[in-house]
Structure 1
Amino acid sequence: MTPHTLLIIQVGTPPQDIRDQLGDLPSWFGNALDVAPDGMLVVRAFEGALLPEPRKDCVAIITGSWAMVTDREPWSEYVAQWIRAAMAIEMPLFGVCYGHQLMAHALGGVVDYHPQGREVGCEMIQLLPAAMEDELLRQSPAQFPAHLTHEQTVITLPQGAVALARSAHDPHQIIRYGRFAMSTQYHPEFTPKHLEAMIRRRAAVLVAEQRDPEQMIKALRETPDARAVLGSFLRDCTCFAY
């Protein structure tokens, strides 16, 4: 892989206690994809760092965040504008959680808080009929577990976008926007340790919502099929030597 054919658009950073345990988001993606730090360019967009001009020989991953798309932060709207420019030249884009929602927002969809509240835990993702016609997903299992933690969601798809998977809670778990653009509401980069740390950090809130954090933690497991969607996307982009 040539240097900087992978762009990590970092749109948030974990709370300090989670960073102390598990590091920052770029290392999560690097570990998930077996990509060394010098094999990626990280731009901390949430701190106002400027993005490079979109180019077709680079794959961009837009990370998750602890912010909310509906806050319309200036840095977030700047990334949304960049997404539209990248889509115009068919630059490969993959959004995760906040990145998933931001792509939908940037391309004309509607994002807001989920009417039924937060989704958190290791949950089953079910492929929709459209996935059977998708080159990347047609060989995937019909359902597979994935790690989730989010309060906002894609309420309405952008024009031309297609939902490829759902969970019991959320109808838009994987979205295809074009040949080289897709996103997941779930976190393909998470391991059980990542989600355990987040569940423990929110334990009081979850208990108040009549959930059992310890049972949620016991239900965690590895999610190789969820992770494979991201890896397959990168391999599917001919510009990426993976």
Structure 2
Amino acid sequence: MHIGILQTGASPDALKDQMGDYPDMFERLLAGRGLTFRRYRVELMEFPASVSECDGWLITGSRHGAYEDHPFIKPLEAFIRDAYAAHVPIVGICFGHQIIAQAMGGKVERYEKGWSVGPTDYDFNGEKITLNAWHRDQVVKVPENAEVIATNEFCENAALLYDDRMFTVQAHPEFRPEFVDGLMRTRGPGLVPDDLMARARARLAEPLQDQTLAARIAAFFHDHRQTKPGAEKLRA
């Protein structure tokens, strides 16, 4: 199955040579799961010719806000709605989670309680899954056609499922601990409170369930034409 990665941001230059760019991270995360990939720098206005150019789409994270006035935002929202109407599956991660919600009638805001950084526990309908986080924005209003399938006390709408067509997650299953440590060193100072980064560093060695999410993402892509089986695997 051929997946188009819609890249909406870039890894910091100081980390890119050693740890790769965002598409590299997703390709590593999803390796060995029957998926191939093509990259599109939508942040630089490199868009697919149509929503059917690939079998499915994955929207990356970004340092941009979904509510900001960047040239790629409106075309990306239109692409999301067109893909949804055409039943072409989309996965959204962090910014991807937010821009999909915004495109579908939800609302994204800079969260008044601040940042979530580093290993973070989420409740996926009774199953605790720990993933790395790096965000200050959140989906504060869920679109009418979306179902909340993961939450925690800080992030109420941590993962959303739009029947068998779109699956979105606020956390970063593609971020390894060393990359989060690098973000704290390169982007964190003066932006993320020091005490929050200290707590995140203290948890960096804890096990993550990134492969649990990788399996769910792959299952979503492979099973999207079978609404109930695909949806049930994500809700379970």
Q: Which category of TM-score, normalised to the shorter sequence, fits these structures?
A: 0.7 to 0.9
1:31 aligns with 2:15: no
| 1:211 matched residue in structure 2 | 195
| 1:234 matched residue in structure 2 | 218
CA apart distance, 1:51 = 1.8
Secondary structure at 1:60's aligned position in 2? strand
1:169 aligns with 2:151: no
1:223 aligns with 2:220: no
Task: State which of 106, 118, 122 in structure 1 corresponds to 2:119.
Answer: 122
Which letter maps to 1:103? I
Aligned positions of 1:90-129 closer than 5 A: 90-128=87-125
Q: Which runs of 5+ in 1 are unaligned?
A: 129-140
Give the aligned CA root-mean-square deviation in angstroms.
Answer: 2.3
CA apart distance, 1:206 = 6.2
Residues 161, 239 of structure 1: CA spacing in aligned structure 2 closer, same or farther, 3 A cutoff?
closer
Q: Which runs of 5+ in 2 are unaligned?
A: 225-236
Which letter maps to 1:15? P
Contact preservation (8 Å) 1:206, 1:213: no
| 2:141 matched residue in structure 1 | 156
| 2:64 matched residue in structure 1 | 67
Aligned positions of 1:52-63 closer than 5 A: 52-55=49-52, 58-63=55-60
Aligned positions of 1:140-155 closer than 5 A: 142-155=127-140
CA apart distance, 1:151 = 1.1
1:6 aligns with 2:3: yes
CA apart distance, 1:107 = 0.3
1:182 aligns with 2:167: yes
Q: CA offsets, 1:5-33, max 9 Å, x none?
A: 11100001122112133111111001111
CA apart distance, 1:57 = 6.3
**TM-score (norm: length of structure 1):** 0.84
1:47 aligns with 2:32: no
CA apart distance, 1:205 = 2.7
Moved more, 99-108 or 47-56: 47-56
**TM-score (norm: length of structure 2):** 0.86
| 1:84 matched residue in structure 2 | 81
Secondary structure at 1:176's aligned position in 2? strand
Identity across matched positions, percent: 24
Contact preservation (8 Å) 2:4, 2:54: no
Residues 41, 15 of structure 1: CA spacing in aligned structure 2 closer, same or farther, 3 A cutoff?
same
Which letter maps to 2:85? A
Residues 193, 12 of structure 1: CA spacing in aligned structure 2 closer, same or farther, 3 A cutoff?
same
Contact preservation (8 Å) 2:87, 2:165: yes
Which letter maps to 1:218? A
Q: CA offsets, 1:185-230, max 9 Å, x none?
A: 00111111111111222443367x3515344223113422x44224
Moved more, 159-168 or 77-86: 159-168
Contact preservation (8 Å) 2:55, 2:89: yes
CA apart distance, 1:102 = 0.3
